[in-house]
Amino acid sequence: MGIKKKTFMAAAFYLLCFLSLLVEGFDRSEFPDSFLFGTATSSYQIEGAYLQGNKGLSNWDVLSHIPGKIDDSSNGDIADDHYHLYMDDIELMHSLGINSYRFSISWSRILPRDRFQGVNQDGIQFYNNLINALLLKGIEPFVTLNHNDIPQYLEDKYGAWLNPEIQKDFGYFAEVCFREFGDRVKYWATFNEPNIMVKKGYLTGTYPPLRCSAPFGECLSGNSSVEPYVAAHNVILSHGIVVEIYKKKYQAKQGGIIGIVMSTTWYEPLTNLTNDWVATKRLLAFDVPWFLDPIILGDYPSEMRQILGSNLPTFSSEDKKKLRYKIDFIGVNHYTTLYVRDCLYSLCEVMDFFNENAFTYTTGERNGIPIGTPTAMDTFYVVPRGLEMMVNYIKERYNNMPMFLTENGYAQGVSNYTTVKDFVNDMDRVDYLNQYLGMLLKTIRNGADVRGYFIWSMMDNFEWLYGYTLRFGLYHVDFTTQARTPKLSAMWYKKFLQGSDSLLKED
Ligand code: NOJ
């Protein structure tokens, strides 16, 4: 390490020591022994090699190549080149001291054409290599089967999530994964944030397949009042089928567990008016329970049925059979809290199209004062109490089912003036992670059955519509040279995992 860099790191440490005097610390030993501490990524965001190893095109390969769709006109063609650099990346994870790593499998790498045209052995080989190398380093693979990217042929052939046919295809893909990798993978998630995937894909139409209707967004075709709910219904049933396959054919012999990962924004009423309280409850129901109520409790929440009526599908007796097998855990991705204003009984000048079917308006500010410190991601504010509220909400609604905090992280913005040094000196992230992890510990002490914590993300990567303009990594990535540099947050996590107090102090 150069002298300049050393001095800079030392200065940063001292500043942290000072900060540490202001808040209370905790350490790893206060979490259960079996607790998973990890980092998270997803296939499209890090792998690159989009045309290598016989991979087929995914819906995100196609979308990111449409001019104007991604903020910085970038794509995931190369991303972190993790497909080639995975061994180095595992070394970095090992050096952090994590005991688990959450990643997703690219469906179009495993089944590049369709399910009738064979499994791609190169894809199988890649994930086998990855899984084996992780296990050799004592890192448990925590695998997501769907994290936004699906083979483009499913769109072209029959409209993907809008068609019940996808249930068979997803079931087939999942079974290939259980068969090939399940002897070593003990944690499976069917979907990552399907609530975001379908809203962006079919309500506002900014994610593939770019479907929506006015005034929700500008798309060539779609129906924002109907399609998000049809797509979600097929996601829920596809999930059910996959859980059934795992439970009936694989769980007993492979000994793993299976769940689903939701995006969980916490919401608070903007004012004390009853309408805003009711709207907050309603918006919460339109978000996580939209998926988890049918999966765990058997039907959609009543708040949704009241507003959506027949636009919300119903579960036929055939459908219900597909949901007979229950999940083992809930994956909680949590980053932020927002205020909610009612637009159903009250007059709103503006509505939030992302949530419009719930007739609400969400904002991060009350009378010009932000709900928490703003971050580079426009809707992400630092509000640790929101994590506590969310964990308790899920705990109560779903009878304290085991949870993993499958994502939590902090975005840094990119400008013409930010230097590598600025990115590496990420004390804001350390502060964020420290506060959220501390809050998580509080929920555990209060009885929540939380079994793991994964930081988003292991390294800077392709942030969907934002391209490379937001950086979430513990490691800084130079996207030209692919050099990875540990940020201060990586050092903080490492020290914490080694047993130091969460408030970073120099040895
Ligand atoms: C949630 C998503 O699962 C992940 O793909 C995304 O990059 C992070 N949040 C940050 O926005």
CA of 42 to the centre of ligand 1 (A): 9
CA of 161 to the centre of ligand 1 (A): 20
Amino acid at 184: R
Whether 380 is in the pocket of ligand 1, judged by its Cβ within 6 Å, is no
What is the Cβ-side half-sphere exposure of residue 31, based on CA atoms within 13 angstroms?
22
Give the per-residue pLDDT at 13. Answer: 56
CA of 40 to the centre of ligand 1 (A): 9
Whether 41 is in the pocket of ligand 1, judged by its Cβ within 6 Å, is no
Whether 352 is in the pocket of ligand 1, judged by its Cβ within 6 Å, is no
Indicate the pairing of strand 329-333 with strand 403-408: parallel
Q: How far is CA 262 from CA 73, 94, 232, 293, 324, in A?
A: 28, 27, 13, 12, 20
Is 0.85 surpassed by the pTM of this model? yes
User: Is 193 annotated as catalytic?
Assistant: yes
Whether 407 is in the pocket of ligand 1, judged by its Cβ within 6 Å, is yes
Give the per-residue pLDDT at 505. Answer: 59
Q: Where are the domains of the chain?
A: 9-502
CA of 379 to the centre of ligand 1 (A): 13
CA distance 332 to 269: 22
Nearest atom in ligand 1 to the alpha carbon of residue 463 is: 7
Give me the residues of the chain with pLDDT under 50, please. 1, 17-18, 20-23, 507
Domain 9-502 is in which class? alpha beta
User: Is 407 annotated as catalytic?
Assistant: yes
Take atom 5 of ligand 1 and give the residue whose Cα is closest: 42
Which are the contacts of 502, defined by CB distance < 8 A and separation ≥ 6? Answer: 25, 26, 27, 434, 437, 438, 492, 496
Indicate the pairing of strand 187-192 with strand 140-146: parallel
Kindly state the DSSP code that residue 216 receives in the 8-state scheme.
Answer: T
The encoded tokens of residue 482 equal: 């692919």
The encoded tokens of residue 492 equal: 């903080």
- Surface-to-core class of residue 463, CB atoms within 10 Å of its CB (0-12 exposed, 13-18 middle, 19+ buried): buried
Nearest atom in ligand 1 to the alpha carbon of residue 464 is: 7
Give the per-residue pLDDT at 503. Answer: 82
Helices 121-136/166-181 angle, 10° precision? 50
Catalytic residue (choose from 193, 227, 303, 388): 193
CA distance 253 to 465: 41
Catalytic residue (choose from 47, 180, 388, 407): 407
CA of 193 to the centre of ligand 1 (A): 9
Query: Could you tell me how many helices (H) and strands (E) the chain has, helices first?
Result: 19, 19
Give the per-residue pLDDT at 23. Answer: 47
Place of tokens 């080639």: 84
CA distance 445 to 442: 5
Give the per-residue pLDDT at 8. Answer: 56
- Contact indicator for 104, 143 with CB cutoff of 8 Å: yes
Where helices occur in 149-301 by DSSP H, the ranges are: 152-158, 166-181, 194-198, 227-245, 251-254, 274-285, 289-292
CA distance 73 to 65: 8
Whether 42 is in the pocket of ligand 1, judged by its Cβ within 6 Å, is yes
Take atom 8 of ligand 1 and give the residue whose Cα is closest: 456
Give the per-residue pLDDT at 506. Answer: 52
The encoded tokens of residue 146 equal: 């769907």
Q: How far is CA 255 from CA 179, 192, 475, in A?
A: 13, 22, 33
Give the per-residue pLDDT at 501. Answer: 86
Q: How far is CA 343 from the centre of its chain?
A: 28
Site to substitute for ligand 1 among 103, 206, 407, most atoms within 8 A of C-beta = 407
CA of 17 to the centre of ligand 1 (A): 30
Give the per-residue pLDDT at 356. Answer: 83
The encoded tokens of residue 59 equal: 């819906």
